[in-house]
Amino acid sequence: MHTPSALILIANGTEEMELYCTSAFVPEPGSSLEDVNFENNPPFAKGSRGIRIVPDTYFSPHDSTPDNFDVLVIPGGAKGAQTMSESPAVQELVRKYLDSDKFVGMVCAGSLTALTSKLPKQSLTSHPSVRDQLKDSFEYSEDPVVCSGKLITSSSAAPHFLPGTTFPFALTLVELLCGKEKRSEVAGPMVFPAGTFA
């Protein structure tokens, strides 16, 4: 049986909670994208809260293709999201995944990559800080998680250093990749309060 895998891109300035919450549920986290400091041993990316993140591998467009992963995830964090949204290699990768009928997830300001990748007008959401940049080009939604075909976006609007909507985003990916039963199995041990998003 095929075990779904995810490629989660990180860069300096990536929001740590959006990375960690997603990678806790979906296997195969972490490929570094930008100027990690190779003078350190091991090299790392510095997250938006200053936490050093050591990736599993370093970004290679050749190795990051939809032939190798089932879902591409772009977390937020203002600086990290900007780096990814401005990367032609990431933009091309987003289009390749969607053209290959693979899932693409974008959290928070990561949704800016939908704009720079020139995706067609469709429903999406984002962190409120980038809403104005997206609302004219997309059918903007205030829902915490929005599924539009294979594009899954999440607002992740939360107080300082909280995961916000990242949990329902990650659980939605689990459900899409593995089914509702797996979602329930994964969510159960989390002991979410009754009536929350699990």
pLDDT at 95: 98
* Positions marked active-site: 18, 108, 127
Q: How do residues 165-175 score in pLDDT, each as one tens digit?
A: 888 999 999 99
pLDDT band at 35 (very low <50, low <70, confident <90, very high): very low
Domain of residue 76, CATH code = 3.40.50.880
Q: Which residue has the tokens 């609302």?
A: 135
Does residue 36 fall inside a structural domain?
Answer: yes
Domain that holds residue 94: 6-190
**With a threshold of 0.95, does the pTM exceed it?**
no
- pLDDT over 90 at 152, yes or no: yes
Q: How many domains does the chain have?
A: 1
Strand 57-58 and strand 45-46: the pairing is unpaired
Q: Is residue 195 part of a domain?
A: no
CA distances from 58 to 38, 61, 118, 164 (A): 11, 10, 25, 28
Residue 1 lies in a domain: no
* Largest distance between two CA atoms of the chain: 48
Residue 130 lies in a domain: yes
